[in-house]
């Protein structure tokens, strides 16, 4: 048995037989099979060959066999020569002319050499061949940025933001490359080695926020010549708008492919060689909606990348948006797929060679877990001021927190029931609506450990109760739906707030809070007017109210000096005014204030504010009106 032109052929006697030039088969009798004395000449022994000598990963292979007359079928087995990590087998019927054929697809990973063996079912004859796999110049890998908290190798994760909070850093036709504004959405970290690939092949609901931007990562590795396309390629990808069970949940086709750019800050973007074609960038990106109204409703994005050179490794980040609502009965997965890629040998990318992408998918798994994976929410509330005066402004501060260490809480809603003796003014910190005494605030999603603060402003009724709480101090709130009573009384005002979400909550005891508020009577005002023509005696007047305003008007026909003593234990605000000249002195505590005014037929007005006020002055022949 000898090798001729790379092949070995043996008959029953083992004598070598020459093959016609170009024949690509190995033929031998199976062990234990006797030679056929009337067999056709050995040059026409059966053959098996592939339609090409070399293929890209994921390519389609066609096997062709000849001279299989005498066998009803031929069994073909294809395996990697280095070991059985993959296998293809088929039983092929023999056609009347002795031919067989078989079409199949290679796996989407690189295999150096494939071995092919064909065996005749009746004769036991064997033919074999090999073909090789090629990496190609461009190798594309489809990932998503890791949304989980504290999962190695790169522990931080990106903030879950809606598109309204984060514009695309470089629109289609712009610079095409940027440092990622969505911090910690990375393909590699903390270093660029295979073990530090942080991007993931699938996503889970516990790590996702409804309505968020979802960053995908396409890794492009370049090895070999980039001519004649000059380092320009185009690829397409699909994001489904419905689950595999047909439920209306997935990636929002309204936003489509929201953004695409080369992430120049990712450690996986390495352009270390000679940049013949310049730096890598996204030239253009676009999307269309396909299959609308069907279970295959999807966004198809198309991205053109240029500036690729031999030795480059480039991360293209792509943003899509998860729908912000989900049906209660949603289940299945939401699929994404890297559909195709090609080189671009003209400006419109209408011509070029196919780049093998294989069958790369990246699904959002087990949609029902948006409802079943637990996250503990809690809520608290504080009031200011407490106590508050009747008719005054009362402000509440609500804080809701996701206490889970690893699960996003979705569909978070705060419900606040105002006391009937308060009037709603405004709310901030969330999207809120008010109706029938109930304030409802849509918080949205809270990441693990995240809190949201809502500020609610109200006005207290002028007739709100003041006697329920006999004290003059603040009232403490507590978890639950009942306001705690102050010592010796009941709350003047009581406000209830609660939180809920679509995510399962393992501890409902901290999902509500009640805040009482003490109410005091309003401030009061007193006004006194005195008209004097002369001063010969002394009068003392005292006003002791919460707030006092005292005005004295005196008319003189001659120039005089008047001395007034004011005793004030709480106020530091004293004002004197005169038509000609005014002097005033004010200090804290018990104060002697002297004002000297020279006037001729002028009125003089004195006013001051006091909480405990005593005024003493000499006067005679006075006329008083109050």
Measured CA to CA, the distance from residue 597 to residue 605 in angstroms comes to 11
pLDDT bin (cut points 50, 70, 90) of residue 618 is very low
Whole-structure pTM over 0.85, yes or no?
no
R_g over Cα of the chain: 43
Q: Kindly tell me if the per-residue pLDDT of 170 is higher than 70.
A: yes
Measured CA to CA, the distance from residue 127 to residue 30 in angstroms comes to 10
How do residues 430-486 score in pLDDT, each as one tens digit? 999 999 999 999 999 999 999 999 999 999 999 999 988 888 889 999 999 999 998
Q: Count CB-CB contacts under 10 A for residue 408.
A: 28
What pLDDT score was predicted for residue 330?
Answer: 96
How do residues 304-328 score in pLDDT, each as one tens digit? 999 999 999 999 999 999 999 999 9
3-state secondary structure 123-171: CCEEEEEEEEECCCCEEEEEEECCCCCCCCCCCCCCCCCCHHHCCCCCC
Q: Kindly tell me if the per-residue pLDDT of 573 is higher than 60.
A: no
What pLDDT score was predicted for residue 103?
Answer: 96
Residue with tokens 């008319």: 555
Q: Kindly tell me if the per-residue pLDDT of 494 is higher than 80.
A: yes
Q: Let me know: does 266 contact 180? Beta carbons within 8 Å.
A: yes
Q: Kindly tell me if the per-residue pLDDT of 185 is higher than 60.
A: yes
Tell me 22's DSSP state. T
What pLDDT score was predicted for residue 102?
Answer: 96
How do residues 243-286 score in pLDDT, each as one tens digit? 999 999 999 999 999 999 999 999 999 998 778 999 999 999 99
pLDDT bin (cut points 50, 70, 90) of residue 44 is confident
How do residues 496-512 score in pLDDT, each as one tens digit? 999 999 999 999 999 99
How do residues 340-367 score in pLDDT, each as one tens digit? 999 999 989 999 988 988 789 999 999 9
Measured CA to CA, the distance from residue 232 to residue 281 in angstroms comes to 10
Between residues 270 and 588, the one the model is more confident about: 270
Tell me 205's DSSP state. G
Measured CA to CA, the distance from residue 421 to residue 267 in angstroms comes to 59
What pLDDT score was predicted for residue 133?
Answer: 75
Between residues 571 and 44, the one the model is more confident about: 44
> Which among 74, 51, 60 is positioned nearest to 127, based on CA atoms?
74
Between residues 81 and 584, the one the model is more confident about: 81
Measured CA to CA, the distance from residue 264 to residue 243 in angstroms comes to 33
Phi, psi for residue 165 in degrees, rounded to 5 = -100, -5
Angstrom distances, CA of residue 319 to CA of 102, 251, 301, 314, 619: 41, 10, 10, 16, 85
Sign, CA dihedral 76-79-83-86, equals negative
What pLDDT score was predicted for residue 318?
Answer: 98
Structure tokens at 343: 């080189």
What pLDDT score was predicted for residue 135?
Answer: 61
Question: E-assigned strands of 477-557?
Answer: 478-479, 493-500, 512-517, 519-520, 529-543, 548-555
Phi, psi for residue 39 in degrees, rounded to 5 = -60, 155
Between residues 558 and 216, the one the model is more confident about: 216
Q: Which residues contact 24 (CB under 8 A, 6 or more apart)?
A: 7, 47, 49, 129
Q: Kindly tell me if the per-residue pLDDT of 9 is higher than 50.
A: no
Q: Let me know: does 432 contact 457? Beta carbons within 8 Å.
A: no
Measured CA to CA, the distance from residue 216 to residue 230 in angstroms comes to 26
β-partners of residue 412 are 444
How do residues 514-562 score in pLDDT, each as one tens digit? 999 999 998 665 554 444 444 443 333 433 333 333 444 443 333 333 4
- For residues 575-585, give the mean pLDDT: 38
Measured CA to CA, the distance from residue 270 to residue 387 in angstroms comes to 63
| Averaged confidence pLDDT in the chain | 81
Between residues 464 and 602, the one the model is more confident about: 464
Q: Kindly tell me if the per-residue pLDDT of 228 is higher than 60.
A: yes
């Amino acid at each position: 048995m000898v090798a001729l032109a790379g092949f070995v052929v043996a008959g029953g006697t083992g004598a070598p037989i020459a093959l016609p030039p170009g024949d690509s088969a190995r033929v031998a009798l199976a062990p234990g099979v006797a030679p056929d004395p009337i067999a056709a000449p050995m040059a026409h022994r059966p053959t098996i060959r592939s339609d090409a000598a070399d293929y890209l990963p994921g390519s389609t292979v066609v096997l062709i066999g000849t001279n299989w007359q005498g066998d009803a079928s031929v069994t073909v087995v294809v395996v990697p020569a280095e070991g059985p990590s993959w296998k293809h087998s088929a039983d092929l019927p023999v056609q009347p002319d002795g031919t067989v054929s078989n079409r199949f697809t290679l796996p989407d990973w690189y295999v150096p050499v494939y071995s092919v063996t064909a065996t005749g079912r009746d004769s036991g004859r064997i033919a074999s061949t090999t073909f090789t796999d090629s990496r190609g110049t461009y190798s594309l890998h489809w990932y998503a940025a890791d949304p989980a908290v504290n999962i190695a190798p790169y522990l931080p994760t990106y903030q879950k933001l809606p598109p309204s909070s984060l514009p695309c850093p470089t629109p289609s036709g712009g610079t095409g490359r940027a440092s990622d504004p969505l911090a910690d959405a990375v393909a590699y970290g903390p270093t660029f080695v295979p073990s530090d690939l942080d991007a993931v092949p699938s996503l889970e609901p516990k790590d996702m926020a409804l309505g968020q931007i979802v960053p995908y990562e396409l890794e492009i590795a370049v090895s070999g010549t980039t001519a004649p396309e000059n380092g320009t390629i185009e690829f397409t990808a699909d994001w489904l708008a419905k689950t595999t069970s047909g439920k209306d949940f997935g990636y929002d086709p309204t936003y489509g492919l929201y953004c695409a750019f080369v992430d120049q800050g990712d450690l996986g973007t390495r352009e270390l060689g000679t940049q013949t074609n310049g730096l890598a960038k996204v030239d253009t990106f676009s999307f269309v909606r396909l299959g609308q109204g069907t279970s295959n409703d999807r966004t198809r994005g198309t991205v053109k990348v240029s500036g690729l050179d031999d030795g480059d490794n480039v991360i293209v980040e792509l943003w899509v948006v998860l729908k912000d609502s989900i049906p209660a009965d949603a289940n299945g997965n939401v699929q994404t797929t890297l559909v195709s890629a090609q080189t671009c040998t003209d400006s419109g990318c209408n011509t070029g060679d196919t780049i093998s992408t294989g069958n790369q998918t990246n699904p959002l798994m087990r949609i029902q877990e948006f409802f079943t994976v637990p996250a503990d929410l809690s809520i608290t509330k504080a009031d200011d001021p407490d106590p508050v005066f009747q008719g005054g402004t009362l402000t509440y501060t609500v804080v809701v927190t996701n206490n889970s260490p690893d699960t996003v809480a979705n569909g978070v809603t705060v419900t606040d029931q105002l006391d009937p003796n308060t009037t709603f003014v405004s709310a901030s910190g969330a999207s809120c609506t008010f109706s029938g005494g109930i304030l409802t605030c849509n918080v949205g999603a809270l990441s693990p450990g995240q809190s949201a603060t809502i500020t609610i402003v109200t006005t207290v009724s002028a007739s709100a109760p003041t006697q329920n709480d006999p004290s003059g101090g603040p009232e403490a709130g507590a978890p639950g739906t009942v306001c705690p009573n102050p010592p010796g009384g009941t709350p003047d005002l009581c406000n209830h707030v609660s939180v809920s979400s679509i995510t399962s909550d393992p501890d409902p005891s901290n999902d509500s809070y009640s805040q009482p508020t003490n109410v005091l009577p309003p401030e009061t005002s007193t006004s006194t007017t005195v008209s004097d023509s002369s001063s010969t005696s002394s009068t003392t007047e005292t006003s002791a109210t919460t707030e006092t305003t005292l005005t004295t008007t005196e008319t003189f026909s001659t120039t005089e000096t008047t001395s007034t003593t004011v005793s004030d234990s709480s106020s530091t605000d004293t004002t004197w005014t005169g038509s000609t000249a005014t002097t005033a002195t004010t200090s804290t505590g018990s104060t002697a204030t002297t004002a000297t005014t020279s006037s001729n037929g002028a009125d003089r007005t004195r006013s001051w504010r006091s909480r405990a006020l005593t005024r003493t002055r000499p006067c005679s022949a006075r006329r008083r009106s109050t």
